[in-house]
Amino acid sequence: MKSNVTKLLSTAAIAATISAGAAAATLDDVKAKGFVQCGVSTGVPGFSNADDKGNWSGIDVDACRATAAAIFGDGQKVKFTPLSAKERFTALQSGEIDVLARNTTWTYTRDASLGLDFTAVNFYDGQGFMVRKDLGVNSALELAGATVCTEQGTTTELNMADFFRKNKMSYVPVVVQKADEALAAYDSGRCDVYTTDKSGLAAHRTKLADPSAHVILPETISKEPLGPVVRHGDNQWKDIVTWAMFVQVNAEEMNITSKNVAKIKSETTDPGIKRLLGVEGDMGAQLGLPADWAYNVIAQVGNYGEVFERNVGPSTPVDLPRGLNALWTEAGGIMYAPPVR
């Protein structure tokens, strides 16, 4: 889910001013207050969603918990701020939140003009279209003249416009402020099509009265690398958020899970694993973290495969395949992290 380029550019001057003052040590501020303030969505199942008791879960939620585990040794030391697509960047720029983990796409304009930095990609995605099965449409190339719902403040608007223009098809956009409002407009019949990232389509489909009555069309019309975002100018904080993710990918490569990490830590003779888990060396000191920071991330949040499977995998209502998000060692996968050494 992505911000409109025009609106992004209008915030560039503010972003430049904020960036100049954003080099303060976020880690010190986080330690002083005792928690990570994390900006999330207003509700995307599998990514950031609260249950009826206010308990948050999802891939993006786990990114925040991994950061907290690295710093405090406690992945529960997080507070969540639900944000619309329109609100999210301002909340980060202003310091209202410490990190934005809100299925946010890494783009050139966002990276270059907002005074923000993207960290690691935690989900490789792409924009698609969802329609009712009874519409009788099997391809996005059959959507000429369709009414299409999407969320305001996202580049799905630009991607959608580009797709229809490229394919010389007319369409009627219906743009609303929040994702749930876009879904409700689609569900009510106000529009024929709902468009957003394909992971978001799968997630929001679970909220419909009869998910099986809706189909996600096969075309993927854009690249959407999603991941946490931080303020520009604080390299230490960026590195912490980034490596909290990279550790999870490395752990999956090494077959280290939340269930076996304690045993492996006590028994391993592998020097690479010893470094990763803080048995040898002091990799944490380079980030201003405890020696066992990576161990705490894995023990409390899990490796990347565990995070994926419990939030969006085939055993969940979202039911997504690993696809591009499989490890680089697996067929079709591109999930890759630098080594810890």
- Mean pLDDT throughout 1-26? 50
How far is 265 from 236, CA to CA, in rounded Å? Answer: 26
What is the CB neighbour count within 10 angstroms for residue 144? 11
8-state DSSP, 170? -
pLDDT tens digits for 266-322?
999 999 999 999 999 989 999 999 999 999 999 999 999 999 999 999 999 999 999
List, as one string, the DSSP characters of 10-37: HTHHHHHHHHHHTTS-HHHHHHHHTSEE
| Other CB atoms within 10 Å distance of the CB of residue 134 | 8
CA distance 311 to 59: 6
The closest alpha carbon to 8, from 100, 110, 88, 106, belongs to 110
> Is there a shared CATH topology between the 2-124+226-325 domain and the 129-222 domain?
yes
Task: Give every CB contact of residue 61 below 8 A, 6+ residues apart in sequence.
Answer: 38, 40, 47, 48, 78, 80, 101
Average pLDDT over residues 24-50: 95
The DSSP code for 231 is: E
The yes-or-no verdict on residue 20 having pLDDT over 70 is no
How many angstroms separate the first and last alpha carbons of the chain? Answer: 34
Summarize the confidence of residues 76-98 as an average pLDDT: 96
- Going from N- to C-terminal start, the domains of the chain cover 2-124+226-325, 129-222
Distance from C-alpha of 158 to C-alpha of 140, rounded to nearest angstrom = 16
Beta bridge partners of 196: 128
The CATH number of 2-124+226-325 is which of 3.30.830.10, 2.60.40.1930, 3.40.190.10, 3.40.366.10? 3.40.190.10
The pLDDT value given to residue 152? 85
Chain position carrying tokens 């989900």 = 123
**For 10-19, 160-169, 177-186, which range has the lowest pLDDT when averaged over its residues?**
10-19
Task: Provide the residue type at 323 as one letter.
Answer: G
Distance from C-alpha of 50 to C-alpha of 117, rounded to nearest angstrom: 26
- Predicted local confidence at residue 155, as pLDDT: 81
pLDDT in tens, 188-220: 999 999 999 999 999 999 999 999 999 999 999
To the nearest whole number, what is the mean pLDDT of the chain?
93
Name the fold adopted by 129-222. Answer: D-Maltodextrin-Binding Protein; domain 2 (3.40.190)
Q: What's the pLDDT band for 142 if we cut at 50, 70, 90?
A: very high
